[in-house]
Chain A
C-alpha cells in the first residue's frame, strides 16, 4: 500500500472514529432529555454520584496545580515585562492566559487523567464481565445507563472546575505579584478584574463544555469497544487518555481560531 493510500485510510478511520463519538454523544444527550421528559430518577442518581467523583474529587489536586501554574505564568510574563518596566501588567497577562487558555486546558487534562481513564476502565471492566451484555438482555440501554449520567455530570462539573481553576491561577499569580511586582492583594485582584472582560471567561467556558463532550465520549467509546480479557481494559484506558488529550488539543485549536477570527471582525 502506498503512503498516499495509508494517509487516506488513516484519515477515513479518524473521521469514522469522530463520527462514532458524535453518534454516542447524540444518543447520550437523547437519553438525558428522555429521562427529563419522562421524569425518571435513576440517571440523576447516577449523575450525582459521577459528579462527586468528577468534580469534588478533583478539587484538591486541581487547586494545587492551577495555583502553581498561575505563579509560573507570572514568573514567565515578568521575565519579559521587566525589560520594559511594565511589571504592573503581570496581573493582566496571568488573568487573560489563565481564563482563555490554561484554566480550561489544564482542567481538561487533569480530568482526562482522573475521570476519562476511569470511564474507560469502568465500562471496559463491565464489558469484560458481561455486565454490558446483561444490561442489553434486560432491555436496558447501556448508553442511557452508563454514558448519559457521565455526560451529564461532566457537562456540569467541567465548567465549574474551570472557573475554580481560573480563580486559583489568579491567586497563584498574585503570590508573585505581591512578592516581586509591588502589588497588594486587593490591588492585584482589582488589576485582574480590570484586565478581564466577560468574553475571556465565556471563551474558556465554551471550550470547557466542548472538552467535557470529548472526554466523556472518548472514555465511554473506548470502554464500550473493549475486547475480551483484562489486558484489553488496560489498552482501552491508555487509548482513552491518549486520544482524549489529542482531541482536546485539536478542539482547543479550532475554538481558539474561531474566537480569534470572530473577535477581529
Chain B
C-alpha cells in the first residue's frame, strides 16, 4: 500500500517509471471563486491503465474530471498530456488535444435533436475529411463495439438509460481517443445494466488498450474495472493504490468509505484533521 500519508502523495506520484505517463498531474489546485475545491492533487496515469477516482459527494472528483477535459480552469499546478501542460494551453491547443480524448457524461449528454448515428458521426464530420459513406460505416462499427447494432436511426429519447450510456461511449470513441474519461458510468442504472456497462469498459480496455479514467462512487463497479484507484476526500487524495491495496488499507477515511460507515458528528476542526490523517495532532503551544 502506498500514498496513505498526505505528505507522501506527491512523492508517490513522482515515482520512477520506465514508461511515460499518459497523464501526469502535479499539485493541481482548482477553486470556484474564493472556495478551493482541489487542494494540490498529484498522481500519474500510465498508458493502458484503468484508473478509478473514488470519492463521496463534494469530494471534488467531478471538478477534477471537468478540469482534466478543460471545462474548468485550474488556479495552479500542472497536468501533462501528450507532452503538453493543460494548465497553460491556449484555445487552439485545447481544440487539438480534445480530438485525442473522449468523455462519456453522467447523463449521457446525447444531442436530443439528432439520431444516435448523427451523434456518433458529428465529431467525424467535423474533424476529418472522410466521405459520408465511410463515416456511415465507421458509425456502424462504433455502435457495434458498444452493442448497439441497428440503432443508428433511433432518437436518444427512444433509448433506455443503459443504451444511452452505450451510445455516449460510442460517440466518445468516435475519434479513437487515447484517453477515455467516464463520469459516473453506472449512476442511475439497475445492477444488471450497470454490470453490462462495466463489462463494456473492460472490453474496450482489452480490445483497444485505451487509457481509461473513471469517476465514480459505485464500489462494486470500481473494484471490478480498476487497475488502480485514488480516493479523493474534501479535495485531497487520501489513498492511491491497487484495488487490493485499498481493500487492505487501515486508513480511517478509506475504511469509512469502503465499509460504508456514516459520517460521525464532528464538533471541531481538530476532529476532522484526525479523521483525515489518521494521526492525533499535537496541541498548539
**Interfacial residues, chain A to chain B (CB-CB below 8 A):** 42, 126, 129-131, 133-134, 136-140
Knowing A136-B70, A137-B98, A137-B103, the reply to whether A42 touches B109 (Cβ < 8 A) is: no
- Interface membership of B207, Cβ < 8 A: no
What are the interface flags for B132-173 relative to A under an 8 Å C-beta threshold, 1 for contact and 0 otherwise? 000000000000000000000000000000000000000100
- Contact assessment for B71 and A136 in the assembled complex, using a CB-CB cutoff below 8 Å: yes
- Contact assessment for A42 and B126 in the assembled complex, using a CB-CB cutoff below 8 Å: yes
Q: In the complex, A57 Cα to B34 Cα: how many Å?
A: 47
- Write the chain A residue with the least CB distance to B69: A137
- Write the chain B residue with the least CB distance to A130: B109
Knowing A131-B112, A133-B71, the reply to whether A140 touches B123 (Cβ < 8 A) is: yes
- Contact assessment for B71 and A137 in the assembled complex, using a CB-CB cutoff below 8 Å: yes
Knowing A136-B71, A140-B126, the reply to whether A131 touches B95 (Cβ < 8 A) is: no
- Contact assessment for A140 and B105 in the assembled complex, using a CB-CB cutoff below 8 Å: no
Inter-chain contacts of B70 with A (CB < 8 A): 136-137
Give the residues from 83 to 131 in chain B that come closer than 8 angstroms, CB to CB, to chain A. Answer: 94-96, 98-99, 101-103, 105-107, 109-112, 122-123, 125-127
Across the A-B interface, the 6 shortest Cβ-Cβ residue pairs:
A139-B98, A134-B109, A130-B109, A139-B95, A137-B103, A130-B105
- Contact assessment for B94 and A139 in the assembled complex, using a CB-CB cutoff below 8 Å: yes
Shortest beta-carbon distance, A115 to chain B, in Å?
15
Inter-chain contacts of B122 with A (CB < 8 A): 138, 140
- Write the chain A residue with the least CB distance to B96: A139
Q: B111 contacts which of A42, A131, A136 (Cβ < 8 Å)? A: A131
Q: In the complex, A139 Cα to B100 Cα: how many Å?
A: 10
Q: In the complex, A130 Cα to B122 Cα: how many Å?
A: 16
Q: In the complex, A108 Cα to B154 Cα: how many Å?
A: 36
Known: A130-B107, A138-B126. 6 other contacts (CB 8 A): A129-B112, A133-B71, A134-B110, A136-B98, A139-B96, A139-B126
Shortest beta-carbon distance, A35 to chain B, in Å?
11
Inter-chain contacts of A126 with B (CB < 8 A): 111-112
